Amino acid sequence: MTITTRFAPSPTGTLHVGNIRTALHNWLWAHKYGGRFLLRIDDTDAERSREAFVAAIRTDLAWLGLMADGETRQSARFPLYEARFEALRDAGRVYPAYETAQELDLKRKVLLGRGLPPVYDRAALALTDADRAALEAEGRRPHWRFRLDHDAPIGWHDLIRGDQRFDPRTMSDPVIRRADGSWLYMLPSAIDDVDMGITHVVRGEDHVSNTAAQIQMFEALGTTPPAFAHEALLVGSEGKLSKRLGSLGVEAFREAGYEPAAIAALLARIGTSQPVEPIADIRLLAAGFDFGHFGRAPARFDEAELAQLNARIVHQLDHEAVADRLPAGIDAAGWEAIRPNLATVREAADWWQVVEGPVEAPAFSAEDAAFLDAAADAAAALDWSADPWRALTESLKAMTGRKGKALFLPLRQALTGRDHGPDMAALLPLIGRERAIERLRLTV
């Protein structure tokens, strides 16, 4: 069996962090076993779906490294849905219902007022042909429900939640088609999963009750249901659902300078018993991915943790991986010199300014100014082909008796305009002899 998963976003907006996590986990599970990860665009909502969002979804997945092994769109599959719908209707598994939204709402309120669960009473099943004809003569058009089998308890082994049991008598027959003929999520999704050969459905725990109904839909369609994994939902760092999470998407991550690898490394592990580690190779993440490591508690997303993880991954990146994002002039030596001080790759431009100048040094005391003047003389006399920083500091230490902070800090401030930064042994050769002498002389 080829492991096949799918990511099925609706093109009614851009991907947010929860969508990204779902896509990632589907990709990781499929690729762990050499399987297939499919993209299905759930665009049955013609009024809200936009081609711009379809393009954005593809672009965002590509940026994250989650390339699909195939793509399909629900809007191209309506004939298939119609055929399956007709077969289910002939088998008595779907039926028309004529209640208006207001009538259904009133029924729910009455049941809740009596302390009962708001389960649909199946009144539509009691209608005769004459009743239905009379309602349609009034101008009513039916919506359609899937008839659950009340004699067949629903159960499955969830890869995260363990054994699940539902009594179908406590569930409303789900509406699968609106009065205008448009489709709701439940039935088309099950039909697609069968047709696309989906072996594992990975999604949020808010779909658990949907899965219970869809289990019977798969069986009514004459097939064995796929395996299911329902993940705990994301919460913010404050421990509750956050509006901020709804606004965090690929565009926001890109604007903040985060690496796709950092996002993947964090979202692959939060909510699991595994440590979050700066794993830059998504294939390694896939190799260790296992739903058995997932817990039932909400997965806590902390942007501060992402920022720290991003810095650790940036520190692993070689020059070739980032060359096209660096300012002109930063070669491999330059990248290795400034890389340890970066939280994001874009910060390289700030540190390269320190190399190329100009820099603005602080005001120095007369004593430090004299020291730096001596440093300029020493720099001019150095052999710059070896290790100029070590040679310069050893010469000045012997000449002036300075050591520690008194020796190093004025030199760093004069040469870089900053109190801290990359290792000066790596930075000074990049600054070069002429610029170094000029910066040291300017402090007189």
Task: State the average pLDDT for the chain.
Answer: 95
Give the mean pLDDT of 206-231: 97
Residue type for position 55: A
CA distance 296 to 294: 7
- Strand pairing partners for 94? 146
Look at residue 424 and tell me whether its pLDDT is greater than 60. yes
Over residues 14-42, the mean pLDDT reads: 96
Could you give the percent of the chain with pLDDT greater than 70? Answer: 98
* Inter-residue contact 316 to 281 (CB < 8 Å): no
CA 401 to CA 229: how far, in whole Å? 68
pTM over 0.85: yes
Residue 2: CB atoms within 10 A of its CB come to 10
Whether the pLDDT of residue 248 is over 90: the answer is no
The 10s digit of each residue's pLDDT in 252-305 is 999 999 999 999 999 999 999 999 999 999 999 999 999 999 999 999 999 999
Please give the backbone phi and psi of residue 214, each rounded to the nearest 5 degrees, phi first: -70, -25
Q: With 70 as the cut, is the pLDDT of residue 314 above it?
A: yes
What is the residue whose two structure tokens read 């093109």?
11
- Is the pLDDT reported for residue 443 higher than 60? no
Query: Where do the domains of the chain lie, and which CATH numbers do they carry?
Result: 4-79+186-234 (3.40.50.620), 90-154+164-177 (3.90.800.10), 319-355 (no CATH), 357-441 (1.10.10.350)
- Considering only residues 341 and 246, tell me which one the structure prediction assigns the higher pLDDT: 341
E strand or H helix at 253, and its extent? helix 250-255
For residue range 322-331, list pLDDT tens digits in order: 999 999 999 9
H/E segment holding residue 158: strand 154-158
3 state SS of 443 = coil
- Model confidence at 241, pLDDT cuts 50, 70, 90, reads low
Residue 38: what residue type?
A: L
Could you give the CA distance from residue 184 to residue 190 in angstroms, rounded to a whole number? Answer: 11
At 313, is the pLDDT very low, low, confident or very high (cuts 50, 70, 90)? very high
Length of the chain in residues, anyone? 444
Q: How many Cβ atoms are within 10 Å of 390's Cβ, its own excluded? A: 12
Q: pLDDT tens digits, residue range 51-85?
A: 999 999 999 999 999 999 999 999 999 999 999 99
Closest CA to 116 of 164, 172, 40: 172
Confidence band (pLDDT; 50, 70, 90) for 240?
Answer: low
- Is 243 annotated as belonging to a binding site? yes
At 244 the pLDDT is: 73
**What local confidence, expressed as pLDDT, does residue 242 receive?**
63
- Do residues 25 and 289 make contact, with C-beta atoms less than 8 angstroms apart? yes
Distance CA 47, CA 50 (A): 8
